[in-house]
Structure 1
């Protein structure tokens, strides 16, 4: 795969850290990785955004950000309120293709969920993925409520004919509760796709060297890592 779109079932659920883990694993294997953020919201000029965080943690070759809007809102709303031009799906697809010409892997990290609006016409990350013909990796929370949002995201992907690579839990707690343990078995059924990893809570706060050394243990072999869903569930008491 040359391009992977990383989306989520919502916001603040670990997409950036999962993107960094994917990037770290691919970079460690000798692949050149570019990270593309179509729209960064809630970050002012000169402040580090998600792309900078992914590069810091993973050591990826290149990062690109198509637009930045200061208010922490959906990209379309943030662009309108700032009086700035929105990002459109065709521009996202074009930028990803350009990066793919010179890199082995391009990771496109969305903002919020799959169907958050980019522009006034209702363009979304799903539209960009469809234009690219790229698969989508869905990042989801571990706890109660995640099955519904994961199911809805999977249904939206299927309705658009977009491949779902699988699901990664963006923040796995040190002491999981009953719902979190049960969700290890239920998430693949809800998604209609495999569970491909679980990133521990707080991973984004690790020093970069420790993050890179551990990243493969959080992701399944399909994503270049060593994580095993069955062994993980057994260790969690699921």
Structure 2
């Protein structure tokens, strides 16, 4: 799994923190890790973006790369058009990821919003870049009500494009999960046909980097390098349904 694409079922659901957790987990065992953000939207040139946040949380050994930045908080294609700047296409994303993969053990490519968000005027998406490299896609989903539908749709879109789903990670597991969140632990794999491979606790980004790095392997399943036990986690929370 040299290049892993990270997407979500929507926006503001914890993709960046999950990506940082995967990066920290890999760095903890001595792997060299690069993070690629193809298009950062909604920030001024002088503001720290997702690459800076992943580097802060996971560790400064990480190589962070951002290909383009646009000021409006919109889909990359729209934000690029409004800014009068070139869009970032799938070929450029795949080429940058491949170059990083040549000198790193793992490359994490974090998209913007969901899987089919448009990156250019041709309607290209993160899925197209992943397809070019034959890379798996990790999907981040919220914990509660509404997750099953958007997760199933994302999984279906991946299958339609013959892309491998590396699994689903819950981007922000609440301290006091409601019935929907607890039920989703068992229902997500059934509805998506893909494994649940992690759960990052709510507020993880507020930890110190040192505490984040120590805890991260416990949030990520062994199939993507961590120690998280999905059966034990599900058994604990399902027992109180």
TM-score class, shorter-chain normalisation, is over 0.9
Partner of residue 19, structure 1:
19
CA contact (8 A) 1:8 1:138 kept: yes
Partner of residue 219, structure 1:
220
- Measured in 2, the distance between the counterparts of 1:166 and 1:49 equals 25
- Measured in 1, the distance between the counterparts of 2:165 and 2:180 equals 24
CA RMSD, 1 decimal: 0.7
Partner of residue 106, structure 2:
105
Q: Where in structure 2 are there 5+ consecutive unaligned residues?
A: none
CA deviation after TM superposition for structure 1 residue 36, in Å: 0.1
Alignment of 1:134-149 (within 5 A): 134-149=135-150
Partner of residue 186, structure 2:
185
CA deviation after TM superposition for structure 1 residue 61, in Å: 2.2
Partner of residue 200, structure 1:
201
Using the size of structure 1 for normalisation, the TM-score is 0.99
Aligned residues: 238
CA deviation after TM superposition for structure 1 residue 234, in Å: 2.1
Alignment of 1:52-201 (within 5 A): 52-59=52-59, 60-201=61-202
Q: Secondary structure at the match of 1:92?
A: helix
- Measured in 2, the distance between the counterparts of 1:173 and 1:99 equals 35
Using the size of structure 2 for normalisation, the TM-score is 0.97
- Measured in 2, the distance between the counterparts of 1:13 and 1:189 equals 21
- Measured in 2, the distance between the counterparts of 1:157 and 1:222 equals 19
Runs of 4+ in structure 1 off by over 6 angstroms are none
CA deviation after TM superposition for structure 1 residue 23, in Å: 0.2
- Measured in 1, the distance between the counterparts of 2:62 and 2:52 equals 11
- Measured in 2, the distance between the counterparts of 1:10 and 1:190 equals 17
- Measured in 1, the distance between the counterparts of 2:153 and 2:195 equals 16
Partner of residue 29, structure 2:
29
- Measured in 1, the distance between the counterparts of 2:234 and 2:161 equals 32
